[in-house]
Amino acid sequence: MAARTRAHVFVSGTVQGVYYRANTRDAAREAGVDGWVKNLADGRVEAVFEGPEDAVESMVEWCHEGSPAAEVEDVEVEYESPQGEDGFEIRH
């Protein structure tokens, strides 16, 4: 079984009000990655991706582009131990 990893991501730029969270959810589900995504009060988007290393890495890369209407300026990533996320959801 492939090693599981967890990436905690903060995305800044024009990433709210551009369907970033919905597109992230769809991409994560397609990649077979668990976790969640939410808007932060400071205008950033926060996300956690958990799953096989290659799938998590592909989601981190995806964040640099994001949804078609997004203008991503920066992506901060911290790698952590998996915490057993199940499914992928948009948090409010």
The structural domains of the chain, with segments of one domain joined by +, span 11-78
Please indicate whether residue 39 is annotated as part of the active site: yes
For residues 5 and 2, which has the higher predicted lDDT (pLDDT)? 5
Tell me the per-residue pLDDT of 20-74, one tens digit each, with 9 for 90 and over.
999 999 999 999 999 999 999 999 999 999 999 999 999 999 999 999 999 999 9
Q: How distant is the alpha carbon of residue 27 from its chain centre?
A: 9
What was the pLDDT predicted at 61? 98
What crossing angle do the helices spanning 20-31 and 53-63 adopt, rounded to 10°?
160
Contacts of 82 (CB under 8 A, 6+ apart): 4, 5, 6, 50
Beta pairing, strands 4-14 & 45-52: antiparallel
**Thinking of the domain 11-78, which architecture would CATH place it in?**
2-Layer Sandwich (3.30)
CA–CA gap between residue 57 and residue 45 (Å, rounded): 17
Q: Which of 4, 6, 21, 44 is catalytic?
A: 21
pLDDT higher than threshold 70 for residue 89: yes
pLDDT band at 1 (very low <50, low <70, confident <90, very high): low
